[in-house]
Structure 1
């Protein structure tokens, strides 16, 4: 899971911004070790050492730095787009992007280059804290805009911040998504919920040695132990917060 590919990112994205040279080196390592990148929707397609390369949010630096590297190697990837954040969203603009965002033209160019485009909500809220009507609007509006602009079905989703719940996953299924990404920082095993597929976070601080280990499936639990403990603890807090909000709003 990538976010930004940027040499000098703004403060709000610095931890999740991978330097362009580091990203190029990581893609070279995948090629050298015989991995077969596939789009997220094709995760279950038989392939030798399949791996899914994803990007959340839709930052403009994907077009600047990641797309040329991917295209040069013939690597597919999946970009999950926050439709209300796009640079030329116009009347559909919503939320507060943290950096420069892709334009609709760049999204179409990426799709034409073999990049899978998925949904990432419309305004990037914490979906598990929304009431049902607002949740449905976030999921369907994003999907509808992407399908209208791209002229193709959009059936994959990544939850903003990785936050979901059984209620959010049911809403995603009703909205027409057939597969969705969480974070979880675990390997995607064969027995998994298709609407909560885990991913491994690549950060600015991810060393070449760490990247090499985790893509080969080694030391994953140890590498991401702190992340996973925080995620589980915060999930309890978030469920309690939503339940308390429901009681308060009645």
Structure 2
């Protein structure tokens, strides 16, 4: 039986984040300390493609595997994250919302200082797998089929054009998905996808619903160690899970109401 693997979910790395990103931002000093702990405890970071490929084929993973993932595409991943990753030779995965990356495709939706494509290319050359995170970062389970296909294919097309290779990994914006979204992500050519869930990733979750644990600005080094060791995760995120369940009920009620209104039109 395969052992569960911690997949760490980061967003921004910044000393002075704005209000929109503060809660899910970590300071450069905290990130460097967290990477030092992984190295000291003997963890071996792998990227998303390698984990999923190993679980799919039954191949072997290195001792104490861990995934370091970043969502959205904030500039601090290059400015502050890359030096700490490079210090230990750590692999990682960056999931970019292509419409938020500075350049020709920018939709203007980025929440803080975002990467540009030259920085994304430099990251890709330093053991950072570049994955998809949609084009404009919508709640994918709330949009129509044609819009869903656009978000996935436009994201994939831009990454392929900019980097010269198609992305094989995806992460759901906000962590939201549904069976329809997961089927479409697979049909769009992504081989695996990450959710949130705030639990350890397990092979039985399947390649399109792998769970991650959230690293926040308030995550101290002792809590971080518990997360990567897989200790007390349920207790740490108990409030988050209760809020998520409550919001999920609200979202489902809204969806049912919208369908009822459309059926009367």
Q: TM-score, normalised by structure 2?
A: 0.91
Q: How far apart, in 2, do the equivalents of 1:79 and 1:135 lie?
A: 21
| Residue in 2 that maps onto 1:86 | 101
Q: How far apart, in 2, do the equivalents of 1:190 and 1:174 lie?
A: 21
From 9, 13, 25, the equivalent of 1:5 is 13
| Residue in 1 that maps onto 2:32 | 24
1:124 matches 2:137: yes
Q: Please list the CA deviations of residues 140-185 of structure 1 after superposition, one character each: whole Å capped at 9, or x if unmatched.
A: 1001110121111211111111111111111111111111111110
Name the structure, 1 or 2, with higher relative contact order (CA <8 Å, separation 6+): 2
| Residue in 2 that maps onto 1:153 | 166
Q: What SS is found at the alignment partner of 1:52? A: strand
- 1:241 CA drift (Å): 2.2
Contact 1:58 1:101 in 2 (8 A): yes
| Residue in 2 that maps onto 1:40 | 48
Q: How far apart, in 2, do the equivalents of 1:95 and 1:137 lie?
A: 18
Contact 1:179 1:195 in 2 (8 A): yes
Q: How far apart, in 2, do the equivalents of 1:190 and 1:137 lie?
A: 29
| Residue in 2 that maps onto 1:76 | 91
| Residue in 2 that maps onto 1:243 | 256
Runs of 4+ in 1 over 4 A off after TM superposition: none
Cα distance change on mapping 1:140 and 1:63 into 2, 3 Å: same
Contact 1:2 1:203 in 2 (8 A): yes
Which stretch shifts more, 25-34 or 234-243?
A: 234-243
Cα distance change on mapping 1:94 and 1:247 into 2, 3 Å: farther
| Residue in 1 that maps onto 2:6 | none
Unmatched segments (≥5 aa) in structure 2: 1-8, 55-59
Q: How far apart, in 2, do the equivalents of 1:11 and 1:150 lie?
A: 32
Q: How far apart, in 1, do the equivalents of 2:250 and 2:181 lie?
A: 16
Q: What SS is found at the alignment partner of 2:208? A: coil
1:143 matches 2:156: yes
- 1:95 CA drift (Å): 5.1
- 1:211 CA drift (Å): 0.4
- 1:249 CA drift (Å): 3.3
Q: How far apart, in 1, do the equivalents of 2:87 and 2:165 lie?
A: 25
Q: How far apart, in 1, do the equivalents of 2:99 and 2:208 lie?
A: 23
Contact 1:122 1:139 in 2 (8 A): yes
- 1:99 CA drift (Å): 0.5
Contact 1:87 1:100 in 2 (8 A): no
- 1:192 CA drift (Å): 1.1
| Residue in 2 that maps onto 1:203 | 216
Q: What SS is found at the alignment partner of 1:149? A: helix
Unmatched segments (≥5 aa) in structure 1: none
1:184 matches 2:197: yes
Q: Please list the CA deviations of residues 93-125 of structure 1 after superposition, one character each: whole Å capped at 9, or x if unmatched.
A: 225111111111111111111100000000011
From 55, 65, 70, the equivalent of 1:55 is 70
